[in-house]
């Protein structure tokens, strides 16, 4: 007769050996709402040692669907190729890894219809949380339709967090775009620059509106105005910056600065100026917003605003996973740092 194979160790066996309850052992091994940070380090180590001594291993497939909901966080962005979005996604992924969660990225391509279709699919995917990091607008119809879809997700047990300022009533992570833009403009004016054109996304995008509004306010403190025709609206992209410069061709000699409201736009603007044989920054200065490191490498005197893009990930995941009940009006406000000609601006 063959001897019966020994029964595999159970979570109950691990809990008994570690001297903790079964739920505590489960949280330590599988991750509670705080993932790998659940419980004290000493408790986690004790449970891990007990599991190792008994030869117990977690069943990832079972944990992935525990309670009928995965440990996946979905992130919606407008453009995955955008530096800002890519850096923020990296931050989300690092924060998720610490918590034992995975990340699913969806891109809307800044298309309202595609955004609606992607959101319609999310309830069936049963994500633990959804982070909305797309460009929010002043279009009341679009925003109310989005809010209804997000409400459906919340009713089904999915956490929703919004990145950026918006009219949506969900926990959010924001940055002081308006203040940072004002300080950037103030620093440029103090450096003696007087003639500005502004390159930005459509004013219907809240981030674009706030950055332009803050920048104009900073210039106004030095009695500098920018005529409406010198505020060029395209897209927050390399192609948008390129197209914005083309719209100014024939009168580029009227400006000391082309103030792009994103570094991606600044890249496109610089590319077109180079094609026109215009030296940057000797003949005309181009500034940005977001702080793409490689631009600072190529142009050491480049002026921009450093936005803590990776920190958005940690902040958003903390709202998604670290607490059991987060009020809808909860906001984590991050600070952006203006950099004028390569030097960070100290706030007064």
Using one digit for the tens of pLDDT, what is the confidence trace for 283-315?
999 999 999 887 878 888 999 999 999 999 999
Examine domains 11-61 and 69-175+309-336 and report if their fold is the same.
no
pLDDT at residue number 61: 44
Pick the CATH number of 177-307+340-344 from 3.40.50.2000, 3.40.50.1700, 3.30.365.10, 3.40.50.2300: 3.40.50.2300
Nearest to 88, CA basis, from 100, 99, 75, 101: 75
Per-residue pLDDT tens for 119-169? Answer: 999 988 889 999 999 989 999 999 999 999 999 999 888 999 999 999 999
With 60 as the cut, is the pLDDT of residue 253 above it? yes
pLDDT at 41: 80
Residue 69 is predicted with a pLDDT of 55
Which segment of 160-164, 250-254, 280-284, 320-324 scores lowest on mean pLDDT?
320-324
Cβ neighbors of 146 (< 8 A, separation 6 or more) are 115, 116, 119, 132, 168
Q: What is the pLDDT of residues 84-106, one digit of tens each?
A: 888 999 999 999 998 889 999 99
Residue indicated by tokens 């209804």? 148
The percentage of the chain sitting over the pLDDT mark of 90, rounded to a whole number, equals 63
Where does 69-175+309-336 sit in CATH, by number?
3.40.50.2300
Give the C-alpha separation, 286 to 63, whole Å.
51
**pTM of the full structure:** 0.79
Domain ranges of the chain: 11-61, 69-175+309-336, 177-307+340-344
CATH of domain 11-61: 1.10.260
């Amino acid at each position: 007769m063959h001897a019966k194979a020994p029964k595999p160790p159970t979570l109950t066996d691990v809990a008994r050996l570690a001297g903790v309850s079964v739920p505590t052992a489960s949280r330590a091994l599988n991750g509670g709402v705080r993932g790998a940070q659940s419980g004290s380090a000493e408790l986690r180590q004790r449970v891990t040692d007990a599991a190792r001594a008994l030869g117990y291993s977690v069943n990832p497939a079972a944990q992935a669907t525990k309670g009928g909901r995965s440990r996946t966080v979905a992130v919606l962005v407008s453009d995955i190729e955008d530096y800002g979005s890519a850096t923020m996604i990296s931050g989300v992924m690092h924060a998720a890894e610490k918590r034992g969660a995975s990340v699913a990225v969806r891109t809307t391509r800044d298309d309202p219809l595609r955004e609606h279709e992607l959101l319609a699919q999310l309830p069936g995917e049963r994500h633990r949380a959804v982070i909305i990091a797309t460009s929010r607008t002043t279009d009341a119809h679009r925003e109310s339709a989005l809010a209804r879809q997000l409400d459906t997700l919340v009713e089904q047990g999915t956490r929703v967090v919004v990145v950026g300022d918006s009219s949506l009533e969900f926990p959010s992570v924001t940055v002081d775009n308006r203040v940072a833009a004002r300080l950037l403009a103030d620093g440029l004016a103090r450096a003696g620059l007087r003639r500005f054109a502004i390159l930005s996304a459509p004013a219907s995008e809240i981030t674009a509106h706030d950055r332009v509004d803050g920048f104009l306010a900073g210039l106004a403190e030095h009695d500098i105005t920018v005529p409406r025709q010198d505020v060029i609206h395209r897209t927050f992209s390399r192609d948008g910056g390129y197209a914005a410069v083309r719209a100014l061709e024939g009168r580029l000699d009227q400006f000391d600065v082309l103030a792009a409201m994103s570094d991606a736009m600044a890249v496109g603007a610089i590319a077109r100026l180079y094609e026109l044989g215009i030296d940057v920054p000797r003949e005309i200065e181009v500034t940005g917003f977001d702080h793409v490191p490689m631009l600072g490498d190529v142009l050491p005197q480049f002026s921009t605003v450093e936005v803590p893009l990776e920190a958005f990930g940690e902040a958003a995941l903390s709202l998604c996973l670290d607490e059991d009940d987060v009020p809808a009006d909860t906001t984590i406000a991050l600070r952006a740092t203006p950099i004028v000609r390569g030097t960070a601006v100290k706030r007064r």
